[in-house]
Amino acid sequence: MTRRVTSVTFRGLGAGISSCQDPWVYISHVSSRCVCVSLQGLVLGVFEKEGEEGSLHLTEAAAGFDQTLSGKLSELLKISGPAIKKGKSRIFYGLHEDFPCVAVVGLGKNSVGVCGAENWDTSKENIRQAVSAGCRSLQDLEVNHVEVDGCGDAQSAAEGAVLGLFQYDQLKSKKKTKVTAQLHGSADPGWEKGVLYAEGQNLARMLMEAPANHITPTAFANTIEEKLAPHAERVTVNKRSQAWIEEQQMGAFVSVSKGSEEPPVFLELHYNGSPDSKQAPLVLVGKGITFDSGGISLKPSSSMDAMRADMGGAATVCASIVTAAALKLPVNIIGLAPLCENMPSGKATKPGDVVTAKNGKTIQVDNTDAEGRLILADALCYGHVFNPRAIVNVATLTGAMDVALGSAATGVFTNSDWLWEQLHKASVVTGDRVWRMPLFQHYTRQVTDSQLADLNNIGKYSRSGGACTAAAFLREFVTAHHWAHLDIAGVMSNKDEIPYLRKGMSGRPTRTLVEFAAGLLFHT
């Protein structure tokens, strides 16, 4: 049972909770917690003072808010317990008539910046983590509108808020409180940019998290087409059919798709953002296996449900193009996503079968669960038709990548130092890191030593260096001078490693791809 109260002092609910004089507050006798149903909450940041352990320094927005309260917030922070730790939040009630619930979040030290050891901007990561924590704490109290302190970096604050509030509950009858977030105080273009970056990653998360019977190849393509519809003047969407795929002699792609009842789709996106129509495009290629059973080389049933996200490469690539279009980036981008299921049936490819890729190379398929490299092979060949400035493919390709790096960073294999530098630079800004991996001829020899064909789809020593032999296989279908393969198997999902992402599919590295594309503006 819940009753409405107009004045109550909350005791025993944790340090830092003040008396509440606001009528827009309910107290639940069942849960013994305060539930604010006001339309508005506020998230404010505090830094640790340099050289003064336990002391706090208010951000500009927090100091302004405190001034309107004649210093009441500062006073409460002093008496409410230990200093707020980095990434943590503390809630105060009834401080201001417009904001019944105020979450104060710890931002860590103000002097930190890019950390060479961690390969990211620590200040930005601290802001994302802290703002996310504050927004979630207010969401748990069923506050449905939150104003957020920009904390000196409105883009990072927006990313923390929008990423932190996302949860895939579309198919549940009981849903999390939907929260809208906006910047507190004056306008800042960084906020809108951060919202778009985060919404792009959330789109990838939504696609990856959705069940495979909801996101089939056709449904995936239709969803992206719908998302790009508002940008029709700059975007062309081609949903290529199986007949087209066969006409293109994409035998490797066809071999993976034929075991499923779901028809394959080759999704081709053209974003023409540059005023120079002759500008060479950036080509992004994403692995689009909407469900991976392993085919005849069937996977173990344990955790096979997670293979609904084996189209994470296509999801991040397509979401990054949706974001680039929303941002109106003045670059040309072509997105290619071979979409299909990998299923066992009487029509499925069998271990030992030989198929022919678009470039005429024959492939001995010794393991049908090494299917991602097959569909990417044909897509990479096709991508060269556009005389690209660079080709970047993204794929949840190998479990070996997860073993090597875990969820700390995306593995990057590239033939171009310039391309590596641009990807790395972008990842430092976004905090969604990349790490360079080797493309030695040592690995190429392992995939070109095949009994029946030009190539074998698994390395000669199948378990050793699996991520590296997969990259070496892909390189056999690349002639471009600037090519990179991003293996995102290790960053596909999030448990508790990234504090501003809830448990589930991560949508990584969408923001890094967008930042990378934006960075190309300055590197002609």
Among the listed residues 373, 433, 475, 508, the single catalytic one is: 373
Residue 39 confidence (pLDDT) above 70: no
Over residues 411-420, mean pLDDT: 98
Residue 410 half-sphere exposure toward CB, CA atoms < 13 A = 37
Say what the pLDDT of residue 417 is: 98
H or E, element range at 510: helix 510-519
Q: Is the Cα dihedral 210, 212, 214, 218 positive or negative?
A: positive
* Cis, bond preceding 509 (omega within 30 deg of 0): yes
Over residues 463-482, mean pLDDT: 96
Integer Cα distance of 300 and 302 in angstroms: 6
Among the listed residues 299, 425, 436, 460, the single catalytic one is: 299
Q: Is the Cα dihedral 223, 340, 467, 437 positive or negative?
A: negative
Q: Is 299 a catalytic residue?
A: yes
Band the pLDDT of 457: cuts 50, 70, 90.
very high
Higher pLDDT, 11 or 326: 326
Strands 114-115, 120-121: pairing kind: antiparallel
pTM exceeding 0.75:
yes
Q: Hey, what CATH topology would domain 2-187 get?
A: Leucine Aminopeptidase, subunit E; domain 1 (3.40.220)
Say what the pLDDT of residue 522 is: 59
Say what the pLDDT of residue 7 is: 27
Say what the pLDDT of residue 171 is: 97
Residue 369 half-sphere exposure toward CB, CA atoms < 13 A = 13
Q: pLDDT digit string (tens) for 158-198? A: 999 999 999 999 999 999 999 999 999 889 999 999 999 99
Integer Cα distance of 235 and 228 in angstroms: 7
Residue 439 confidence (pLDDT) above 60: yes
Say what the pLDDT of residue 463 is: 78
For the chain, what is the mean pLDDT?
91
Q: Is 436 a catalytic residue?
A: no
Where in 397-482 does DSSP place strands (E)? 410-414, 434-436, 455-456
List CB contacts of 360: < 8 A, sequence separation 6 or more.
none
Asked whether the beta carbons of 480 and 390 are under 8 A apart, the reply is: yes
Residue 27 confidence (pLDDT) above 70: no
Band the pLDDT of 52: cuts 50, 70, 90.
low
State what percent of residues in the chain have pLDDT above 90.
86
Asked whether the beta carbons of 330 and 274 are under 8 A apart, the reply is: yes
Band the pLDDT of 14: cuts 50, 70, 90.
very low
Q: pLDDT digit string (tens) for 91-131? A: 999 999 999 999 999 999 988 899 999 999 999 999 999 99
CATH of domain 231-522: 3.40.630.10
Query: What are the structural domain ranges in the chain?
Result: 2-187, 231-522
Say what the pLDDT of residue 462 is: 72
Say what the pLDDT of residue 21 is: 31
Say what the pLDDT of residue 51 is: 63
Say what the pLDDT of residue 53 is: 61
Say what the pLDDT of residue 11 is: 24
Q: pLDDT digit string (tens) for 476-491? A: 999 999 999 999 999 9
